[in-house]
């Protein structure tokens, strides 16, 4: 365990370097998807233009990555109104309508939302979360483009969307007959695509700049417990909250809204980034010796953020082979070992996170640097006494 303000400092020794603890969080690409091929949001309009105009399409994807927004934007691009039906909030009669007596016979009258005269985009959101009875009611709309005697106008398109069971979301099996009549597209979150969109849609600059630096924080695997987790949607919610509170937002409130919308580790990192924006701290200043690691207990989120930035700088600046290290690279390596000692005096746990292996146990930092750090650490510790 590390030590905070007021605790007895503990120095980092060779055994600490050798003990590399895997990071607590998993990168988004570590989550196995059901499809062999996934697409990014930028590809969706092109695919829907070729598929949805001739056959109904089902878009699979994790919660909060923008499925609904992409469908609405696609419909708008075609000049079609997008009519959304949420599978989890419907009963069968909401689709097939209620019977009326006409000329002594009962006739089912479809609801006004569906029975339209002009072509439109029918979006069946959370289709695979609907009850079996509601899914059956959707069959005729999807397979025959009709409800009772009403037929969708020519030029209408039908698109469904839903989460995967592996995302800890409500998902029920879809009958094979229906699966076989849908074209399936598996969507993945794309930091590059989202940042382009965010830059043009007023996302708060703190969110935008932070995710440019940490694109791996855009999305995280949904947890098994009821807690917030990071998605493009949750970052958008955080951005809206930041705009709402304005520049006078205080640190306690920032922590509340960040931890109320993001994966806990991402919330800590974001709060640390904001503290850097508002203070004199920065990894550049620390590496140059112009600033020191923050050591107050209340600055622990800032310390974690700076340690992550430090690790990222070393990954970027240290070559895989020492023979290829320039004079600047060797100087960076020497400075980094000294900074690790200083960091360990505040928290061994945070210092270990800098040199930790990846989730598969493979070193992230170059092996030659880790060997040198383990060899030189006792000498550097002694020099600071």
For 110, what's the count of Cα atoms within 13 Å in the CB-facing half-sphere? 18
Q: State the pLDDT at residue 384.
A: 67
pLDDT at 302: 83
CA–CA separation, 58 and 312 (whole Å): 38
Q: Identify the pLDDT of residue 58.
A: 95
Dihedral angle computed from the Cα positions of residues 238, 240, 244 and 250, in that order, rounded to the nearest 10 degrees: 20
Helix, strand, coil shares of the chain, percent, nearest 5, are: 50, 10, 40
Distance of CA 211 to the CA centre of its chain: 10
* Token representation of residue 166: 């592996």
pLDDT confidence of residue 36: 62
The b-or-e profile of 212-230 (16+ CB within 10 A means b, else e) is: eebbebbbbbbeeeeebbb
Ordered per-residue pLDDT tens for the chain, 385 residues: 444 444 444 444 444 444 443 343 433 333 333 446 999 999 999 999 999 999 999 999 999 999 999 999 999 999 999 999 888 878 777 777 667 777 777 766 777 788 899 999 999 998 888 888 888 878 888 888 888 778 999 999 999 999 887 766 667 778 787 888 899 999 999 999 999 999 999 999 999 999 998 999 999 988 888 899 999 999 999 999 999 999 889 999 999 999 999 999 999 999 989 988 887 667 888 888 888 898 888 888 888 888 988 998 899 889 989 888 888 888 899 999 999 999 999 998 999 999 998 878 888 999 999 998 888 877 777 776 6
Q: What CATH code is assigned to 34-186?
A: 3.40.50.300
Q: Give pLDDT, residue 12.
A: 46
- What's the predicted TM-score (pTM) here? 0.67
Residue 119, class by beta-carbon neighbours within 10 Å (0-12 exposed, 13-18 middle, 19+ buried)? middle
End-to-end CA distance of the chain: 21
Per-residue confidence (pLDDT) for residue 154, from 0 to 100: 94
Q: Could you tell me the residue ranges of all domains in the chain?
A: 14-24+191-384, 34-186
| pLDDT of the residue at 322 | 87
The pLDDT value recorded for residue 21 is 38
Residues 6 or more apart whose Cβ sits within 8 Å of residue 71 = 48, 59, 82, 121, 123, 159, 161
Q: How far apart (Å, rounded) are the C-alpha atoms in residues 24 and 1?
A: 15
CA 202 to CA 295: how far, in whole Å?
35
């Amino acid at each position: 365990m590390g030590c905070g303000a007021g605790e007895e400092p503990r120095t980092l020794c060779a055994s600490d370097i050798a003990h590399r603890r895997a990071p607590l969080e998993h990168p988004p690409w570590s989550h196995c998807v059901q499809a062999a091929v996934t697409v990014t949001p930028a590809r969706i309009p092109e695919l829907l233009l070729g598929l949805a105009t001739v056959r109904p399409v089902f878009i699979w994807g994790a919660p909060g990555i923008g499925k609904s927004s992409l469908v609405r934007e696609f419909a708008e691009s075609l000049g079609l109104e997008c009519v959304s039906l949420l599978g989890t909030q419907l009963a069968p009669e909401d689709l097939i309508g209620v019977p009326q007596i006409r000329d002594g016979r009962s006739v089912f009258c479809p609801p006004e939302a569906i029975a339209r005269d002009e072509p439109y985009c029918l979006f069946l959101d959370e289709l695979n979360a609907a009850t079996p009875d509601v899914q059956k009611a959707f069959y005729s709309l999807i397979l025959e483009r009709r409800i009772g005697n009403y037929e969708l106008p020519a030029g209408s398109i039908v698109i469904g969307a839903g989460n995967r069971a592996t995302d800890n979301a409500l998902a029920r099996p879809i009958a094979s007959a229906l699966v076989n009549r849908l074209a399936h597209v598996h969507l993945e979150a794309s930091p590059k695509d989202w940042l382009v969109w965010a830059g043009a849609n007023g996302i708060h600059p703190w969110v935008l700049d932070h995710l440019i630096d940490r694109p791996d924080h855009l999305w995280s695997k949904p947890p098994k417990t009821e807690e917030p987790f990071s998605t493009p949607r949750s970052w958008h919610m955080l951005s809206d909250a930041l705009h709402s509170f304005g520049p006078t937002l205080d640190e306690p409130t920032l922590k509340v809204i960040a931890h109320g919308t993001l994966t806990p580790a991402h919330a800590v990192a974001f709060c640390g980034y904001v503290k850097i924006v508002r203070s004199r701290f920065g990894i550049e200043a620390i590496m140059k010796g112009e600033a020191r690691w923050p050591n107050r207990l209340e600055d622990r989120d800032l310390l974690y953020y700076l340690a992550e930035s430090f690790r990222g700088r070393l990954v970027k600046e240290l070559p895989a082979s020492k023979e290829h290290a320039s004079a600047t690279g060797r100087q960076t390596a020497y400075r980094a070992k000294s900074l690790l000692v200083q960091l360990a005096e505040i928290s061994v746990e945070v210092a270990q996170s800098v040199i930790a292996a990846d989730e598969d146990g493979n070193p992230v930092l170059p092996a030659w640097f880790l060997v040198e750090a383990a060899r030189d650490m006792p000498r550097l510790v002694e020099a600071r006494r």
